[in-house]
Amino acid sequence: MSYQERKDWMVQVETAIPSPSTAELAARDAADAERETYPEGGLKAWLNLLGAFCAMACTFGWISTFGVFQAYYYTHLLKENTHSQIAWIGGLQAFFICTTGLISGPLVDRYGLKPILVPFSLLALLSVMLTSICREYYQFILTQGVLGGFSVGMLYTPSISIMGHYFHRRRDLAIAIASAGSPLGGVVFPIALLRMLEHSRIGFGWAVRGVGVIFLFFLCIACATLTPRVAPRRGPHFLSAAFKDPVYVSQLIGYCLIFWGIYTPFFFLPSFAIRAGVSVDWAFYILPIYNTGSFVGRIVCGRLTTICGRFNTLLAAILVSAILMFCWLAATTLGGIIVFAVLFGFSSGAIIGLFPAAVAVTAPKANQIGTYLGMTMGVLGFFCLTSSPMMGAIVTRCGGRYTEAIVFSAALIVVGGGMIVFARVKHSGWKLIA
């Protein structure tokens, strides 16, 4: 048989074999997902957990510090601007930290982690240093809001999704521990900033640069330890099949509403405390106290998922957060505000720590978790962008009163929680542990 005859014969054989249908390909993917194995521990897995923990300190940990900046800008650098105008800086940070997941999540699934982690770590550090020399409102908008939010946002989704490469049975706990880096950063950064601002000879610029050194320390650990385990996926940038899954879609709607309301204390607790008659020094320390509660909440509730189930634990945290938000109205003394800060920090921290694990269960394979989480964060960003300015506008319109903004925030959390209940029932039915 000649070469050409053999070639023609091979073509006929290949043509005779039917191509798998879309349903068959989906079934194969599901079977592959079932066969995937995970280390569930080991030196490399724990080093990646450490790296993700440090990265979280520089992402949401840095963003959650903005309440201190908000109060300081309002009383010092940006006195001529309203609460709502200043809140746009933090709103832009929150917007970009979420929406960049649309870019970073699919990219890390398709090309790996290092090409994203290293350059954007340098940009994040640059944004901190540039913030230290800002004096005008537009400068803070560009450096802290746009550049800072975008650069740290490119770090968040890849760092947290890597936990899905190393853990399956312990994934909820691993993601909760990694996300606990956020409140740690929310404790370390504002305290360091406040301690340096108390010394008039240091000034705002050198205080922010001093915080930047801590920022650099965390990012170096993250860049050195974070490495993906599974092979990159092939295929389109986005996975549109996610939006045909009712569990994913109902979660997405629920988190949008919850995050629209849950950030109100992040941005306004210090200002609320000052209006209630608390000294400025104590008001600035409210957020570190808040973030301490958040740190404990993420660890404890991450462990509880192994007993109660991820959705049950998440829903309990949402319910408690809604109740506490209404209770915020009664916190009119320093003691009451501190108690609220600790308790709400605990419950809201649990929500922020657990929702990535709940989204991850909808991804068919480990190398799709980054894309699913990135698409979720991208949509959330539009709600985070408008959350703080909207609440600031409500406070300004109501003559500096916080009552209306607090009630509206609580209502958003309640409605969002209802959507998570729907997702839980669609995913697990009515069984007790889910």
Give yes or no for a contact between 134 and 144, defined as CB atoms under 8 angstroms apart. yes
Contacts of 229 by beta carbon, 8 Å cutoff, 6+ apart: 39, 44, 162, 165, 166
pLDDT in tens, 331-366: 888 899 999 999 999 999 899 888 888 888 888 877
Q: What is the pLDDT of residue 36?
A: 63
Domain interval for residue 86 = 41-428
| Tokens at 108, concatenated | 């890390």
For residue 16, being part of any structural domain is answered with no
Question: Is it the case that residue 5 has pLDDT exceeding 80?
Answer: no
For residue 406, being part of any structural domain is answered with yes
For residue 394, being part of any structural domain is answered with yes
Q: What is the pLDDT of residue 363?
A: 83
* Alpha helical stretches, state H, 36-136: 43-57, 60-63, 66-72, 83-99, 101-111, 114-131
Average pLDDT for residues 250-254, to the nearest whole number? 93
Q: Rounded CA gap, 407 and 221, in Å?
A: 41
Q: What is the pLDDT of residue 4?
A: 47
Question: Is it the case that residue 160 has pLDDT exceeding 90?
Answer: no
SS3 content of the chain, % helix, strand, coil (to 5): 80, 0, 20
pLDDT in tens, 105-135: 888 878 878 888 999 999 999 999 999 999 8
Question: Is it the case that residue 220 has pLDDT exceeding 80?
Answer: yes
Average pLDDT for residues 284-298, to the nearest whole number? 85
pLDDT in tens, 258-271: 988 888 887 788 88
- Residue in 126, 37, 98 with CA at minimum distance from that of residue 359: 98
Q: What is the CATH number of the domain that holds 70?
A: 1.20.1250.20
Average pLDDT for residues 87-101, to the nearest whole number? 82
For residue 227, being part of any structural domain is answered with yes
Average pLDDT for residues 404-423, to the nearest whole number? 93
Q: Which residue has the tokens 């385990």?
A: 229
Contacts of 333 by beta carbon, 8 Å cutoff, 6+ apart: 276
Q: Rounded CA gap, 60 and 384, in Å?
A: 12
| Tokens at 143, concatenated | 């450096």
Confidence grade of residue 424 (pLDDT, cut at 50, 70, 90): very high
Domain count, the chain: 1
DSSP state at residue 366? G
Contacts of 352 by beta carbon, 8 Å cutoff, 6+ apart: 60, 179, 182, 262, 294, 298
AA letter at 173: L
**Residue-wise DSSP of 238-307:** S-GGGGG-HHHHHHHHHHHHHHHHHTHHHHHHHHHHHHTT--HHHHHTHHHHHHHHHHHHHHHHHHHHHH
64 three-class SS: coil
Q: What is the pLDDT of residue 29?
A: 47
Q: Out of 141-145, 195-199, 399-403, pick the least confident.
A: 195-199
For residue 292, being part of any structural domain is answered with yes
For residue 100, being part of any structural domain is answered with yes
Q: Rounded CA gap, 371 and 367, in Å?
A: 8
Average pLDDT for residues 302-309, to the nearest whole number? 86
Q: What is the pLDDT of residue 21?
A: 46
For residue 6, being part of any structural domain is answered with no
Question: Is it the case that residue 28 has pLDDT exceeding 70?
Answer: no
More confidently predicted of 239 and 205: 205
Q: Rounded CA gap, 379 and 243, in Å?
A: 12
Q: Out of 17-26, 271-280, 336-345, pick the least confident.
A: 17-26
Give yes or no for a contact between 147 and 18, defined as CB atoms under 8 angstroms apart. no
For residue 165, being part of any structural domain is answered with yes
Q: What is the pLDDT of residue 168?
A: 79
**Residue-wise DSSP of 175-201:** HHHHHTHHHHHHHHHHHHHHHHHTSTT
Task: Tell me the CA distances in angstroms from 358 to 147, 275, 279, 310, one per residue in order.
Answer: 29, 38, 40, 7
Question: Is it the case that residue 83 has pLDDT exceeding 90?
Answer: no
